[in-house]
Structure 1
Amino acid sequence: MPLWSIYHSPGVYTAEDKQNFANDVTGIYTGIGLPRFYVVVGFHEVDPESLFIGGESADAAVRIVIDHIARHSAAPEDRRRIGDTISRVVAPYTTDRGLHTEFHVDETPQDLWMINGTWPPPGGSDGEKLWAEKNATVPY
């Protein structure tokens, strides 16, 4: 499961922006075969008095924290490709709007992850493909 926590200055995103941003993020992962419901995106508005960059109050900033659980990458070239993909997808909502933008990706151990009380099927397995097809946790 990718979990995106998007911390942003007030008024940066409309409800439509958030929906489009979440859909674009989801497309990254469905494009590699993950079920749609694996993708969780949370928007967290942070007042400038509570968000600082270099000790200065930030009134036009976005900080994205991404947890990858369903897939991990060890090869440097794969990690670079992932970073480039994320940068490309977030740009219309961040840097293209002149917002100070930063993101990072953590990789959480897969054996500490459950969905609806169920251990997810192995990546790329028939079980995962079934979950993607049904867009739900179903017996596999």
Structure 2
Amino acid sequence: MPNPHDVEAESARGGLDVSSLRARCELHDHSVMTAIRQAGISWNAENRLAMPLHRIYTPPGFFTKDEKRALVDSIASMYVGLPAFLVITLFCPIDDDDFYIGKQSHSERASEQGKPFVRIVSQHLARTAEGKERRTRTIRSLEDRFRAVLEAKNCEWEIHIEEPAADLWRLSGHDYPAPGSQAESQWREVNKPVPYQGSTIADHLAEKASL
């Protein structure tokens, strides 16, 4: 099991693998957990950020089928290690008389600015980005998934990430398993929610809050 000095040293070298560290130590070891928190490190691996829902609001017919597929593939690639079924991407075409920016309809805004407007709203549950640098990387990484196609279409866009409480979240009647648990691995393997015994995401969050 690592000790707090191991954590500090590995962090300083930039070589701390949080996923590996999770497997090497007990979650109840408060000294290690405290050192991790003081180093500004989340238990969450860099490529396992969240349980994501993405809603993309556009004028009707804005994306082609191929563009949608390319975006979906690019977005899903952010979440390697999570059950694939958690990554939900919704393309939401909005009619002009239902789409307003300020007091302007979408078409009025597009005529004034010379470009269409796209609004992107994403949700990350459970695995949230902690610390200024990581939060900046997260939003920029997500935005970069959209940037090429939006710039090619000469758009203006707005994007934000919400982080709702994951303990108010259920899937087919089940609480989400604790991150890194055997149950989560099983969900990933079968690509769907299944019954399990063990800690839930709510248990994990409560334990984390108590440290």
Specify if TM > 0.5: yes
Q: Matches of 1:83 and 1:128 in 2, distance apart?
A: 25
Q: Report the counterpart of residue 137 of structure 1 in structure 2.
A: 193
Q: Matches of 2:177 and 2:195 in 1, distance apart?
A: 10
Q: Matches of 2:169 and 2:57 in 1, distance apart?
A: 23
Q: Deviations over 1:16-62 (max 9, x none)?
A: 22222122211111x2x111101111111112332233433324221
More helix by share: 2
Over aligned residue pairs, what C-alpha RMSD do you find? 1.6
Alignment partner of 1:28 is 2:78? yes
Q: Matches of 2:121 and 2:151 in 1, distance apart?
A: 16
Q: Report the counterpart of residue 98 of structure 2 in structure 1.
A: 50
Structure of greater relative contact order (alpha carbons < 8 Å, 6+ residues apart):
1
Consecutive unaligned residues of structure 2, counting only runs of 5 or more, are: 1-50, 108-115, 197-211
Size of the alignment, in residue pairs? Answer: 138
TM-superposed deviation, 1:73: 1.9
More strand by share: 1
Q: Matches of 1:93 and 1:54 in 2, distance apart?
A: 25
Q: Matches of 1:106 and 1:4 in 2, distance apart?
A: 10
Q: TM-score, normalised by structure 1?
A: 0.88
| 3-state secondary structure, aligned to 1:85 | helix
Mapping of residues 1-140 of structure 1, within 5 Å: 1-29=51-79, 31=80, 33-59=81-107, 60-140=116-196
Q: Which 10-residue stretch deviates more, 37-46 or 86-95?
A: 86-95
Q: Matches of 1:126 and 1:45 in 2, distance apart?
A: 39
> Residue 166 of structure 2 aligns to which amino acid in structure 1?
Q
| 3-state secondary structure, aligned to 2:128 | coil
Aligned-residue sequence identity (percent) comes to 34
| 3-state secondary structure, aligned to 2:56 | strand
Q: Matches of 1:28 and 1:97 in 2, distance apart?
A: 23
Task: Kindly indicate whether the alpha-carbon contact (under 8 Å) linking 1:95 and 1:101 is maintained by their aligned counterparts in 2.
Answer: no
Structure 1: which 4+ aligned runs deviate by more than 6 Å? none
Q: Matches of 2:61 and 2:132 in 1, distance apart?
A: 36
Consecutive unaligned residues of structure 1, counting only runs of 5 or more, are: none
